[in-house]
Chain A
Amino acid sequence: TQLLEQSPQFLSIQEGENLTVYCNSSSVFSSLQWYRQEPGEGPVLLVTVVTGGEVKKLKRLTFQFGDARKDSSLHITAAQPGDTGLYLCAGDGSSNTGKLIFGQGTTLQVKP
């Protein structure tokens, strides 16, 4: 069974601080996606990483896929209150079925 362990589960920081969220597995994934979910809404796709070692940037967010495609990280620079939300990583281990395995999520609170 493929599992994704996300850490930390909860993070409360001050505006302007940096943070990193980790997503680890013993399984190889063909791709890994990061989503952000706000209360009362569905998850929103932030990025998909496909190639081992790949780094993608989205403004102050930097996403990295591990060389072996078993882990990923999300780094936020100078966090803003608007970054508050639930961050979910999801791995696609299937072949073309789109079956995503989700991590447990990281709840981020950025205080002004």
Chain B
Amino acid sequence: DTAVSQTPKYLVTQMGNDKSIKCEQNLGHDTMYWYKQDSKKFLKIMFSYNNKELIINETVPNRFSPKSPDKAHLNLHINSLELGDSAVYFCASSRGGGQYFGPGTRLTVT
């Protein structure tokens, strides 16, 4: 069974479009996260939700909007995509302690 899953794995789209990435975890964790990994492999936190409540909101453009319909899901919607949004986006979950990451979504904006 996959612990943290993300869809899609790859996303290629044009500038100006709106897209969503979905994340689900079946670990029973209370906290979920979105990270962005740039081309130099640097991983930076974007958002965190605990029991469907936003607890971390880093300096991210408001074109990015996370949504947590329940504890097991945390989706990321991105409006008006820009070239600089190209990166790998990782979802993760935890119950304190270490975090469990999904396989990532490689977003390419052309």
Contact = CB atoms under 8 A, between A and B. Distances in A.
Interface residues of B, number: 25
Given A43-B43, A88-B43, A98-B33, 20 more contacts: A33-B98, A37-B41, A40-B104, A41-B103, A41-B104, A42-B4, A42-B92, A42-B103, A42-B104, A90-B43, A96-B96, A97-B56, A98-B31, A98-B56, A98-B94, A99-B45, A102-B42, A102-B44, A104-B40, A104-B42
From DSSP, what is the main secondary structure of chain A's interface residues? strand
B42 A105 contact: yes
Contacts of A104: 40-42
Contacts, number: 55
A104 B43 CA distance: 8
Contacts of B27: none
A68 interface: no
B43 A102 contact: yes
Contacts of B42: 102, 104-105
A41 B90 CA distance: 9
Given A97-B48, A97-B55, A98-B94, A43 B101 contact: yes
B102 interface: yes
B101 to A, nearest CB: 3
Interface string A34-58: 0101001111110010000000000
Interface residues of A, number: 23
Interface of A: 31, 33, 35, 37, 40-45, 48, 86, 88, 90, 96-100, 102, 104-105, 107
